[in-house]
Amino acid sequence: MTGRTNHDDTRDAYDRTADVYVEWIGRELRAGIEAPADLDLVDAFVAGLPARARLVDLGCGPGRMAAHLRRCGHDAVGVDLSFGMLREASRLHPDLPVCQGDLSALPLCDTAFDGAVLWYSIVHAPLAHLPAFFAEVRRVLVGGAPVLLGFQAGDDEALHRDQIAGRPVSLRRMRHAPASVTAALAAAGFEITSTVVRDPIGTHEDSPQAFVAARARPLS
């Protein structure tokens, strides 16, 4: 037995492939792989924020979303499990504050943020881990803070990937059922405000894509 975990495999896969990942996904949010309708959801999230909101991009990867939020006039920071991804984020967006951490134990203070984005940040997380992840997200948000998630949709099935751009990895990829995600969010203290599921487009999508907007309920 190796003692390795899904957490280890995910971190190592992105450490090994961060540079080629950037070339695939795009260096900027509006020059990447997102569909126009996806970007409309990001715009709606931004439109509902207070002025100069404190935002956290959880699973920020190379920093595209956090950098976009900063250009919109907000104080956004990025958190990612992979040091390789954080190096890319700092290279591409030198003014973006980033830190290493994972969703199970965020290195962030309670109620530190006015909103959060998890843009395809749960695609490697088993369903059983989501309640704890979302409880951590709720911990770092003020009451009423909006949250936006994007993820690959399915029936909570897990797939395995053994290479990215020809580089060997061992990577679990989850297709979460939107109902499972919204149930876990609700249990963690969020009110669901919208759920959107669209068909796959292009050659890079092999499943429906889901987007959930929610709001942190006030803590009692």
Query: Within this chain, do residues 12 and 110 fall inside the same structural domain, yes or no?
Result: yes
> Does residue 57 lie within any of the structural domains?
yes
Residue 154 lies in a domain: no
Phi first, then psi: give them for residue 126, nearest 5 degrees.
-60, 150
Note the pLDDT of residue 1. Answer: 43
- How is the chain split among helix, strand and coil, in percent rounded to 5? 35, 30, 35
Whether 90 is covered by a domain: the verdict is yes
In this structure, are 45 and 64 located in the same domain? yes
* H or E stretch at 9: helix 6-25
52 part of a folded domain: yes
pLDDT tens for each residue of 65-111? 999 999 999 999 999 999 999 999 999 999 999 999 999 999 999 99
- 208 assigned to some structural domain: no
Same domain, 110 and 123: yes
State whether 81 and 188 are in the same domain: no
Q: What is the pLDDT of residue 14?
A: 83
Task: Clarify whether residues 28 and 118 are in a common domain.
Answer: yes
Domain of 59, in residue numbers: 1-127+162-175
pTM of the model as a whole:
0.94
Same domain, 123 and 186: no
CATH number at residue 25: 3.40.50.150
Query: Residue 132: inside a domain, yes or no?
Result: no
118 and 26 housed in the same domain: yes
pLDDT band, very low/low/confident/very high, at 132 (cuts 50, 70, 90): very high
pLDDT above 70 covers what percent of the chain? 98
Q: Is 139 exposed, middle or buried (0-12, 13-18, 19+ CB in 10 A)?
A: middle
With a CB cutoff of 8 Å and minimum separation 6, the contacts of 105 are: 136
> Does 109 lie in the same domain as 187?
no
Instruction: Kindly state whether residue 155 falls inside one of the protein's structural domains.
Output: no
47 phi and psi angles, rounded to 5 deg: -65, -25
Q: Verify that 119 and 28 share a domain, yes or no.
A: yes
What is the rounded (10 degree) CA torsion for 88, 94, 96, 97? 90
Assess whether pLDDT exceeds 70 at residue 200.
Answer: yes
- Asked if residue 169 and residue 188 are part of one domain, the reply reads no
**What are 141-185's pLDDT values in tens digits?**
999 999 999 999 999 988 888 887 788 888 888 999 999 999 999
Q: Are residues 72 and 10 in the same domain?
A: yes
Number of CB atoms found within 10 A of residue 35's CB = 14
What is the pLDDT, as a whole number, of residue 2?
58
Cβ-contact 89, 28 below 8 angstroms: no
Residue 50 lies in a domain: yes
The whole-number pLDDT of residue 61 equals 95
